[in-house]
Amino acid sequence: MQEIFELINKMSPYLLLGFLLAGVLHAFVPSRLYRRYLGGSSFSSVFNAALFGVPLPLCSCGVIPTAMSLRREGASKGATVAFLIATPQTGVDSILATYSLMGLPFAMLRPIAALVTALVGGQLANVFDDKQVADAESVASPTAKHSFWAKIMAAFRYGFFEMIQDIGRWLVVGLVVAGLITVFVPDSFFAMFADNSLLSMLLVLVCAVPMYLCATGSIPIAVALMLKGLSPGTALVLLMAGPAVNVASMLVVGKVLGRRTLLLYLASIVGGAMLFGLGVDYLMPREWFTVPIARMAECCGEQASWFNLVCTILLALLLVNALLHRFLKNDKACECNDESCSVVAESVYYIEGLRCNHCRANAEKAIAALDGVEHAEVDLASGRAVVRGAVSREQVERAVEALGFKLKA
């Protein structure tokens, strides 16, 4: 428990700042800006998608429906792939958390590696899988104007509630795994990999690619592995490939964008992670990466400052609040004050595959945009979708399947 507390105590100020910046990006940057610059099959659309994706604080599951929504609204296949690769690897929150635990070199390399691999993957999709017709009818989502104060409140709600709901459990899992590695894995276990970076990277890829790792939750695991003797390049492979690929994302990419695009997507991430990892181990001074880790380990033994303790307590309270709401089911029908509610048909569906608030919001938006729908409300915990209006089950099913979800029978 002490190792876990020390890690989160070191990260907590940077995590809180990252969550705040994430909320500001969400509330003040209109989504139409992303859609506007991602159309067409040119390199510029791929570059824009990769550049937009690097700072966005979307986790591996949240990026999938967001990318599919952009695809439905006119983004090219290459731009969609670039967005899928760049976004889950980084984010303002994970970059700051990387700096807090792993130092400036790792914090700089993560966004650079995400950008480069996204550019390569997106351009490969444009060149070798150039079918650019959208898989579903483009939908123009209505945009609402909000006051500055409303945007401030939305930023705080997104950063300190919705986003913590989405990545909080994975952050906890990452910290627990890091603590278990530190306590139970002997240093001699990794001795066989000390002089074989390629073998250690392959082992990390085999373990990390199928499972779910968020960009922030992967940081303490990478730190624990480096403290046990694995190379900085191997840690970078984990930080890149772990958040960018998992079974859920592979299934959705293959279904919506096609098998060829899926292979290009996987080759770009795995190949890029290996090349950057080998570059770190063989072309850069090892001390750039190991010295900050060693200093962090030494600092963990010192008494924590009151500021870090306050941040840790605040983060813990926010985690408990968000996770309680995340797992408390809410099966109540949507509230409606409109007098016409009593005469408009209301249907209830259950959606499979919702994992975060981005999933919920995208599903809700897709259903609400259907002709005949007057109101749609989706509950994340239960997957319950309450739809008011004249719309068929088939229409709702097509809308959610375009995002990678499906309706329960």
The residue among 76, 28, 31 whose CA lies nearest residue 52 is 31
Each residue's pLDDT tens digit, 107-158: 999 999 999 999 999 999 888 865 544 444 444 444 456 788 888 998 888 8
pLDDT at residue 341 is higher than 80: no
Query: Which of the pair, 81 or 64, is modelled with greater confidence?
Result: 81
pTM (2 d.p.) = 0.72
**Nearest-angstrom CA–CA distance, 205 and 227:** 19
Query: Which of the pair, 213 or 16, is modelled with greater confidence?
Result: 16
Q: Alpha-carbon dihedral of residues 168, 170, 174, 175, nearest 10 degrees?
A: 20
pLDDT the model gives residue 105: 93
What amino acid is encoded at 169 in this protein? R
pLDDT at residue 9 is higher than 50: yes
pLDDT the model gives residue 193: 65
What is the band of 272 on the pLDDT scale with cuts at 50, 70, 90? very high
DSSP structure class, residue 39? B
What is the band of 279 on the pLDDT scale with cuts at 50, 70, 90? very high
Average predicted confidence (pLDDT) for the chain:
79
Structural tokens at position 377: 């409300």
CATH classification (class only), 339-407 = alpha beta
pLDDT the model gives residue 40: 65
Based on the number of CB atoms within 10 Å of its own CB, is 222 exposed (0-12), middle (13-18) or buried (19 or more)?
buried
**Nearest-angstrom CA–CA distance, 157 and 162:** 6
When pLDDT is averaged across residues 282-300 and rounded to a whole number, the result is 82
With residue 194 as reference, give the H or E element that holds it.
none
**Nearest-angstrom CA–CA distance, 46 and 40:** 9
- Domain regions of the chain by residue span: 2-318, 339-407
- 346 φ, ψ (degrees, to nearest 5): -125, 125
List the beta bridge partners of residue 347: 387
pLDDT the model gives residue 56: 81
Query: Which of the pair, 341 or 77, is modelled with greater confidence?
Result: 77
Write out the DSSP string of 115-155.
HHHHHHHHHHHHHH----S-SS-----------HHHHHHHH
**HEC letters along 45-94:** HHHHHHHHHCCCCCCHHHHHHHHHHHHHCCECHHHHHHHHHHHHHCCHHH
Alpha helices in 215-258 (DSSP H): 218-227, 232-244, 247-257
